[in-house]
Structure 1
């Protein structure tokens, strides 16, 4: 590992401002220590066009690198250390099925606006863009769902059913106006069985995807903490199930969780329900002031595919490595979807 770290430092120094290494909060401490910029997926992608660097390495999962490639300036190149680092939630929404679902839902003349979580493929974002939809993050989901509801008769929210339900609750959309599609797994992809008549009176149609990492956090674990440590604070990511969010003291994006940990009173105990790498980093950062613990042990294997070794290998061969690209017929409408969000949230 030491040799790989030395290699990375040497190449970073040699390439200077022509190289930028970006790292998601869920990366390991070893990788994060070598990044130039860290943040959540969209935070990082939004930085792309303002960077002077020609070569941009995205330490995260593939949909994040795709988002960066959608927003990149001409001449910039996006790389990812391991192209097999995918996102199980993103993989639960297939672009062709999303398009077919929208066609069925709109077959009776209703205007259905698609709103996709940023945790989705470029191809899905492209479909959403072509159907006049947009993108949201965990931080702006309420604002974007409110916007989407104002654009048509109903909204198709994908791929995260938990973020959809939690956001709908915050906006006061009643359960009887929501439809969570039944889920059936075929070749690893969630299939939807849409009946447009069933959806006719719904304000929100919800794709049945979910994050396997945040699915690990349960109401029972919160109840146990409440019983044994009644003074402890509990905050979770909105990708958690609605009953988990409802039982917590707060919920929000990784930026919210980091801020909550930072501002928690000295001497307090805070349990955080999100990917363990971030929680452990916060625990180390504030160990002399407060106690921060993971709500449950839950690590993303795909985030873990980025290592010091494959990062060093990428940098050593960066001029021969094929960058992440998005076909223009997908990139253009996907960019429309992202730009609509950026405009609404400006």
Structure 2
């Protein structure tokens, strides 16, 4: 039986430019070694249209493959090695429930503009597109929030409460103008937990979702590092709690964290608060030049579902595999939401 790594190498060589393997930064080194392009979720999706490849294998979680399927050309097929690799944060906002909440919030005549983090399903992006909203990334969340505020009477930011609050802090939105929706809206009937009067005097309405990986980081860890290594620098992803962001030396997207590590001076010690695969890769890259450590070793189990063995199996069955698709009823409004972001940030 052929070794999975040999299978991948053989098929890549045989297919040439007709195949592209994309990998998210949080993938394991073993998978990343076989990728043609690596980046964050939207960065990868935006590159798809310009790829010559007809078959694109997305090594990441399912919402990323959906975004790729929304933005790809008609002649391109999107594949993912494991369709069960979902995103817990994205799963905390379901399209039908988001629509119900928006309808409730607008019963008093207010125009509530939804803004969804790219870490959300195609169905949620479609609802956001229908209601005049857009999408944001961790890199452009402040820009897109400023845009959304100007489009109506209030903004519903979803699904990540931490990115929402960190963005609001950066823009100076007062606490008294914000409201965090009850956590029950994630799984319960919104009619039972949300009323228009709850948000009538609020400019910024926050969905109560979060990333379990970034939720693991604690302020105690930062305080311990400050005491033991006062010269160390600490940077975190804005999916972390605002208290951690405030206590850090910087915060930003995966691209920001990578750049921060690259630009840190020789001999620096840097603790990074994000998924551990990326941190360990940076530690190996700069070994001997600077010391890079994870704030804690927090790994995404769903990202880990993509393995070399599953990648090899996917490649070996490309011609008969069912690609990731998005129905036109969802694809068109979701694409509209994405295109609004691309226009604002062009």
1:326 aligns with 2:301: no
Deviation readout 1:183-239 (Å, 9 max, x if unpaired): 0277xx476521211101111000000000000111110000001100000000000
Equivalence for 2:343: 343
Equivalence for 2:45: 45
> Once superposed, what is the RMSD of the aligned Cα atoms?
1.2
Distance across 2 between alignment mates of 1:24 and 1:147: 28
Deviation readout 1:139-194 (Å, 9 max, x if unpaired): 000000000000000000000000000000000001110000110277xx476521
1:74 aligns with 2:71: no
- Residues 1:2 and 1:282: Cα distance change in structure 2 (over 3 Å): farther
Deviation readout 1:9-43 (Å, 9 max, x if unpaired): 11001001000000000000000010000000000
Equivalence for 1:116: 116
| 3-state SS of paired residue (1:198) | helix
- Residues 1:185 and 1:178: Cα distance change in structure 2 (over 3 Å): closer
Q: CA deviation at 1:3?
A: 1.1
Q: Is the 8 A contact 1:18 1:54 kept in 2?
A: yes
TM-score by length of 2: 0.98
- Residues 1:127 and 1:2: Cα distance change in structure 2 (over 3 Å): same
Distance across 1 between alignment mates of 2:222 and 2:300: 21
Distance across 2 between alignment mates of 1:324 and 1:293: 36
1:219 aligns with 2:224: no
Distance across 2 between alignment mates of 1:190 and 1:118: 23
Unaligned stretches of 5+ residues in structure 1: none
Q: Is the 8 A contact 2:97 2:185 kept in 1?
A: no
Equivalence for 1:13: 13
Q: Is the 8 A contact 1:21 1:56 kept in 2?
A: yes
| 3-state SS of paired residue (1:151) | coil
How many residues get paired? 344
Large movers: runs of 4+ above 3 Å: 189-192
Unaligned stretches of 5+ residues in structure 2: none
Distance across 2 between alignment mates of 1:308 and 1:262: 28
